Amino acid sequence: MRLIACFLFFSATAFALAQDKEEPFSLSVNSDFTELHVSVVDSKDRTVSGLTKDNFHVTENGAPQSITVFKHEDIPVSIGLVIDNSRSIEPRKARLDAATLSFIRQSNPDDEAFLIHFDFEARLERDFTTKLSDIEETLAASKPYGQTAIYDALMLALEHMNEAHNPKKALLLVTDGLDNASQASLSQVLEAVKRSRVTVIVVGLLSAAEGEKAEATLSKIADASGGRAYFPDDVDQARAYVDRAAHDLRTQYTIGYVPTDSIHDGSWRSVRVNITPPTGFKEQLTADYRHGYYRADQ
């Protein structure tokens, strides 16, 4: 996972690559089917569109896998908004709320979202909804106070994702500091993230005092999920990062395969995605994706 230190506006790199007309997106019903959502950027951190299945090569525990599903289209997402409501967020609350709403405005009509606030504790403030007005109303009603229970909020959000209707799932975590109030630990969160198959996108507007330690912690969480962590210098930059994150979520490549090793033993499966650039393309390409999963026992 690549951390971004300074980025104001996103741009997309498109290739004029011929592609066959695609059928509407559908998922395999094979219980062994494994799905990856992959974001690709070039050496200038620009989103790369227009790649084909032949540009991607997947291995699981080192063994090559045959890609059976390949899509590059906006598919419905179940989104969890995990928003800091601690007292320190108060001076920037209105503008960060606006950034969160911008993330939702860029959604697919079939998206659904829930909202969790955290301060001394984590609370599900709005259950899954398809209405932007529901999220807007819930954000506006909150009053910042207390401390910062990030880990408890993430644990609650990951658990609530079990009720999601869409197979593609993501959390947007917006915070300004370190956890100082949770009962859950970082190690528990990291393990839950690895088991969840939920992408975690982090926007951390951090203070100078907490910056280095908080950045390392939040980066671990995003990296474990195959997501990204963004660390803006101010609220305007946070808005740009949120818009970038929404764009990247919409333009991910969906790759599916049935593993060659069909044993269900509960073990960790290491997954790697390598990209061969199109002929004549000179930029180095980098992929963000979940680097493994647990194969559940049968």
Domain ranges of the chain: 30-72+253-294, 77-250
Residue 154, SS3 per DSSP: helix
Mean pLDDT of 23-27: 41
Residue that wins the pLDDT comparison between 19 and 103: 103
Structure tokens at 123: 């609370």
Summary mean pLDDT of the chain? 89
Residue 254, SS3 per DSSP: strand
Rg over alpha carbons for the chain, rounded to the nearest Å, is 19
Mean pLDDT of 134-158: 97
What's the count of helices (H) and strands (E) in the chain, helices before strands?
6, 16
Could you report the per-residue pLDDT of 206-259, keeping only the tens digit for each? 977 777 899 999 999 999 999 999 999 999 999 999 999 999 999 999 999 999
Q: Is 41 exposed, middle or buried (0-12, 13-18, 19+ CB in 10 A)?
A: buried
Structure tokens at 261: 């090793």
Phi and psi (nearest 5°) for 129? -145, 155
Predicted TM-score (pTM) of the model is 0.88
Pick 77-250's CATH classification: 3.40.50.300, 3.40.50.410, 3.40.50.1110, 1.20.58.100: 3.40.50.410
Distance between CA atoms of residues 149 and 120, nearest Å:
6
Mean pLDDT of 59-88: 97
Mean pLDDT of 101-114: 93
Structure tokens at 145: 């106070």
